[in-house]
Amino acid sequence: MQAKFPSESVTTLTDLVLPGETNPLNNLFGGELLARMDRAASITARRHSRRICVTASVNHVAFNRAIPLGSVVTVESKVSRTFNTSMEIFIDVWIEDRESGIKNKANEAIYTFVAVDETGRPIPVPPIIPETDLEKQRYDAALRRKQLSLVLAGKMKPNEATELKALFTE
């Protein structure tokens, strides 16, 4: 299967925060942001694999900054690494300053998607070739994140998570 670059499937969704999408503090409701990130990541996974893709896991979410009502929010998703049938997708969330137009990083998340056939059975995806320094850094750390996610899901024994163990023994 022909390898692809992250830039070929990068997805950018920009939208406003409207009143029905906020919590009692008038900031974006966390579940709404999760849905926006899932939507962007799902498009990225589909663009990379050109297959039906399902969310297998939300590996990490950091709500570092509240996003106020009326903000212009940009969600950018990119494939950070592929394995056999799964893809790790990294999502960066930015808020655009109304006056300067400068985008400030608000949150980030990591999702795992799996490509499946028409019956829902996992199928292989093309490899990915990271290009930028950040893409290479995220690619290098992805295997231990996969192992951590599998251990937490009870799908891998901790003593089989060799990359993860190396973190603590190096």
The residues that touch ligand COA, with contacts defined as CB under 6 A, are: 54-57, 83-86, 112, 114, 116, 120, 122, 146, 149-150, 153, 155
> Considering beta carbons, is residue 51 or 146 the nearer one to ligand COA?
146
Minimum Å gap between C-beta 150 and ligand COA is 5
Helices and strands, counts by H and E, the chain:
3, 5
> Considering beta carbons, is residue 45 or 95 the nearer one to ligand COA?
45
Minimum Å gap between C-beta 12 and ligand COA is 22
What's the number of CA atoms in the CB half-sphere (13 Å) around residue 167?
13
Minimum Å gap between C-beta 66 and ligand COA is 26
Minimum Å gap between C-beta 16 and ligand COA is 26
* Contact call for residues 162 and 149 (beta carbons, < 8 A): no
Q: Show the CA angle centred on residue 35, arms to residues 101 and 5, nearest 5°.
A: 70
Closest residue to ligand COA, judged by C-beta, is 83
Identity of the amino acid at 68 = P
CA torsion sign for 16, 70, 64, 21 is negative
Minimum Å gap between C-beta 35 and ligand COA is 11
> Considering beta carbons, is residue 57 or 71 the nearer one to ligand COA?
57
> Considering beta carbons, is residue 22 or 57 the nearer one to ligand COA?
57
Q: Show the CA angle centred on residue 96, arms to residues 94 and 100, nearest 5°.
A: 140
Identity of the amino acid at 54 = V
Q: Show the CA angle centred on residue 5, arms to residues 110 and 126, nearest 5°.
A: 80
> Considering beta carbons, is residue 10 or 116 the nearer one to ligand COA?
116
